């Protein structure tokens, strides 16, 4: 019998349009493997929300594989040690996997490739990062020309079908998923997650089909947090439960303003290209001048940061977003921008503290997208908003009709009128006063920026 191949899974937990599964199935028996390898110094450890999602996504993928006569093998350890040992145990001759672009995964791919034959395939992006180049043959650093050039290469290739999988003669042992301790227990803070999300390929495709019906109105509704106007596909895309090519092909013909949504998929692509060029983008300012920025530190800054994480700033739109994040593991995109700007510019807290909080609490926490979005808000990125453009949350809230959104997530204010709810004039029992005055915070931020310029 033909020797089996290992399919090494990471953020690509699906069967449809999965080039590694497809290629391995053409070669012979397939052993699907997920290695939990984020406890080693090489990796950035997944946050709590991501670990919750991963547990359920792996559980669902195993069920999908078993329905096709296969199964998912779980192992824990350094992947460049685990996979060669598994190959020796099973007689597997090669590993198939999709390319990943986080710096730790690129390092892991090199290590595995030195240990045994590794076949890497594309499939987590619309076009391989580094393949969309300027006229002079260099990678783009600015989004708009990048997106223009990428758009000229669209549509992507049609999605691959779910392959027929042949089982190996003998299955190797697998860790019990529960033994990995991915789920919160004491306390179990994931009740809101369970009510909100259905991880796995089936949940992703269901969410995609629901969005296709709304996609023509995307531009009109995406900035209104009180409406269900966004796709909510971000976590499914991050874990690879649906491919960006599948999303493109299902939505591109929807009509209306769907092109605006496709541009958001383009922004995700751009983020992957940025972290290939600048692997430490999640930890270091792209504009070195900001290394001298006078971020606040000390007990007062820590207290303000804590108030921000708890949704206790006294700014209703910010607090609604931070509470939505804590309960559901997700925050509306417009509110993410407002909340990020508030932390960075109203509170003068280093963007990296916000990035780390989002990394731990978002179910869609993504190294590239998180870093690009936070550095855009901070003005520190290669393509970013100017620091001196300071979002005014008390203006943003009524502008985007966030009243019902606030009522949902800040129940202390639910009784207020549409005029009052964005900025309560009188104290409300149980709701904090503003931790900083907007005008004073704006002046402080501009002064700090001016000091940076010298």
Of 364, 357, 360, 327, the closest CA to residue 339 belongs to 357
How far, in Å, CA of 81 to CA of 193, rounded? 34
* Final residue belonging to a domain, choices 124, 144, 171: 124
Which residue, 203, 244, 207, 237, is CA-closest to 61?
203
Which sign does the torsion angle of CA 199, 200, 204, 207 carry?
negative
**Structural domain total, the chain:** 3
137-165 pLDDT per residue, tens: 999 999 999 999 999 999 999 999 999 99
Cα 264 to Cα 269: distance, rounded to the nearest angstrom: 9
Looking at the domain assignment, is residue 188 inside a domain? Answer: no
Q: What is the mean pLDDT of residues 30-56?
A: 91
Pair (213, 64) in one structural domain: no
Read off the pLDDT of residues 355-378 as tens digits, 9 standing for 90 and up: 999 999 999 999 999 999 999 999
Q: Are 168 and 31 in contact (CB under 8 A)?
A: yes
Question: In whole angstroms, what is the distance from residue 95 CA to residue 84 CA?
Answer: 9
Give the model confidence (pLDDT) of 390-418 as tens digits. Answer: 999 999 999 999 999 999 999 999 999 99
In this structure, is residue 81 part of a structural domain?
yes
Which pLDDT score is estimated for 93?
Answer: 94
Report yes or no on 282 lying in a domain. Answer: no
- Indicate if 95 and 206 belong to the same structural domain: no
Q: What confidence tens digit (pLDDT) does each residue in 62-88 have? A: 999 999 999 999 999 999 999 999 999
Predicted pLDDT at 38: 82
Integer Cα distance of 401 and 423 in angstroms: 13
CB 234 within 8 A of CB 211: no
In this structure, is the dihedral angle defined by the CA atoms of residues 53, 59, 232 and 268, taken in order, positive or negative?
A: positive
Query: Is residue 454 scored above 80 in pLDDT?
Result: no
| CATH classification at residue 236 | 1.25.40.80
Write the pLDDT tens digit of every residue in 85-124: 999 999 999 999 999 999 999 999 999 999 999 999 999 9
In this structure, the answer to whether residues 294 and 244 fall within a common structural domain is no
Q: How much is the pTM? A: 0.97
Asked whether residue 66 falls in the same domain as residue 148, the answer is: no
pLDDT at 223 over 90: yes
Q: 207 vs 151, 213, 214, 215, 290, CA distance in Å?
A: 24, 11, 11, 12, 40
Question: CA distances (Å), 409 to each of 228, 327, 331, 403, in order?
Answer: 15, 9, 11, 10
Question: Does residue 94 lie in a domain region?
Answer: yes
364/400 same-domain check: yes
Q: Tell me the C-alpha distance between 421 and 414, whole Å.
A: 8
pLDDT of residue 394: 97
Q: Which three-class secondary structure state does DSSP give residue 60?
A: helix
Please give the average per-residue pLDDT across 306-331, as a whole number. 98
Catalytic residue positions, numbered: 264, 267, 295, 333, 351, 374
What is residue 1's predicted lDDT score, i.e. its pLDDT? 61
**Residue 162 is assigned to a structural domain of this protein:** no
Which residue bears the tokens 């990394």? 359
CATH of the domain at 420: 1.10.579.10
pLDDT of residue 452: 86
- Whether 98 and 77 share a structural domain: yes
* pLDDT for 40 beyond 90: no
**How many residues in the chain?**
454
- CB–CB of 236/242 below 8 Å? yes
User: What's the pLDDT at 265?
Assistant: 98
Q: What is the pLDDT of residue 79?
A: 96
**Residue in the structure block whose two tokens are 């874990």:** 239
Do 140 and 49 sit in the same domain of this protein? no
Q: How confident is the model at residue 33 (pLDDT cuts 50, 70, 90)?
A: very high
Q: What percent of the chain has pLDDT over 90?
A: 97
Is 177 part of a structural domain of the chain? no
Residue 31 lies in domain: 1-124
Beta strands of 77-143 (E only): which ranges? 94-98, 118-121
Place of tokens 């280093």: 350
CATH number of the domain enclosing 62: 3.40.50.620
Beta-strand relationship, 118-121 and 30-36 = unpaired
- Tell me: pLDDT of 434 over 80: yes
Of the three residues 255, 277, 299, the one that is the final residue of a domain is: 277
432 found inside a domain? yes
- The torsion angles phi and psi of 121, rounded to 5 degrees, stand at -125, 155
Q: Mean per-residue pLDDT for 200-220?
A: 98
Do 250 and 346 belong together in one domain? no
Asked if the model's pLDDT at residue 42 lies above 90, the reply is no
What is d(CA 78, CA 268) in angstroms, rounded to the nearest whole number? 28
402: nearest Cα among 223, 253, 238, 250: 223
Looking at the fold, whether 428 and 315 belong to one and the same domain comes out as yes
**Average pLDDT value for the chain:** 97
Could you tell me if residue 341 is inside a domain? yes
Same-domain pairing of 440 and 292: yes
Burial of 287 per CB tally in 10 Å (0-12, 13-18, 19+): middle
| Peptide bond preceding 258 in cis form (omega within 30 of 0) | no
pLDDT tens digits along 276-317: 999 999 999 999 999 999 999 999 999 999 999 999 999 999
Q: Reduced to 3 DSSP states, what percent helix, strand and coil does the chain have, rounded to the nearest 5?
A: 50, 5, 45
In the listed set 245, 277, 309, which residue is the last one of a domain according to the structure? 277
Of all residues in the chain, the percent with pLDDT exceeding 70 is 99
Instruction: Specify whether 236 is located in the same domain as 119.
Output: no
Query: Residue 348's pLDDT is what?
Result: 98
Do 102 and 49 share a domain, yes or no?
yes
Per-residue pLDDT, 453: 77
């Amino acid at each position: 019998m033909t020797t089996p191949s290992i399919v090494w899974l990471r953020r690509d937990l699906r069967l449809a349009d999965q080039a590694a599964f497809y290629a391995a199935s053409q070669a012979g028996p397939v052993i699907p493997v997920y290695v939990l390898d984020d406890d080693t110094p090489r990796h950035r450890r997944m946050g709590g929300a991501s670990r919750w999602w991963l547990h359920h996504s792996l559980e669902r993928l195993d069920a999908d594989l078993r329905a096709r006569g296969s199964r998912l093998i779980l192992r824990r350890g350094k992947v460049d040690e685990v996979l060669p040992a598994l190959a020796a145990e099973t007689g597997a001759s090669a590993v198939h996997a999709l390319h990943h672009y986080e710096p730790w995964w690129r390092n892991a791919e090199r290590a595995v490739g030195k240990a045994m034959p590794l076949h890497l395939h594309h499939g987590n992006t619309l076009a391989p990062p580094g393949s969309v180049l300027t006229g002079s043959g260099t990678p783009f650093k600015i989004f708009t020309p990048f997106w223009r050039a990428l758009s000229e290469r669209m549509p992507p290739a049609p999605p691959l079908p779910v392959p027929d999988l042949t089982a190996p003669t003998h299955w190797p042992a697998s860790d019990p998923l529960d033994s990995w301790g991915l789920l919160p227990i004491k306390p179990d803070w994931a009740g809101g997650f369970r009510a909100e999300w259905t991880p796995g390929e089936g949940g992703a495709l269901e969410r995609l089909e629901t969005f296709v019906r709304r996609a023509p109105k995307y531009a009109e509704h995406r900035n209104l947090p009180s409406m269900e106007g966004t796709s909510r596909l971000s976590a499914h895309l991050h874990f690879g439960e649906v491919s960006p090519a599948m999303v493109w092909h299902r939505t591109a013909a929807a009509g209306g303003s769907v092109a605006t949504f496709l541009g958001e998929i383009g922004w995700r692509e751009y983020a992957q290209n940025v972290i290939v060029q600048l692997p430490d983008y999640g930890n270091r300012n792209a504009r070195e001048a900001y290394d001298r920025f006078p971020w606040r530190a000390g007990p007062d800054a820590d207290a303000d940061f804590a108030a921000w994480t708890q949704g206790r700033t006294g700014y209703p739109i910010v607090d609604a977003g931070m509470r939505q994040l804590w309960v559901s593991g997700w925050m509306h995109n417009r509110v993410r921008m407002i909340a990020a700007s508030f932390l960075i510019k109203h509170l003068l807290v280093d963007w990296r503290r916000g990035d780390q909080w989002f990394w731990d609490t978002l179910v869609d926490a993504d190294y590239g997208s998180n870093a690009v979005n936070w550095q855009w808000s901070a003005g520190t990125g290669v393509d970013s908003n100017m620091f001196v453009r300071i979002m005014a949350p008390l203006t943003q809230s009524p502008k985007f009709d966030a009243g019902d959104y606030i009522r949902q997530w800040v129940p202390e204010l639910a009784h207020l009128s549409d005029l009052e709810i964005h900025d309560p004039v009188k104290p409300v029992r149980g709701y904090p006063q503003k931790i900083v005055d907007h005008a004073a915070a704006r002046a402080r931020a501009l002064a700090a920026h001016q000091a940076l310029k010298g």
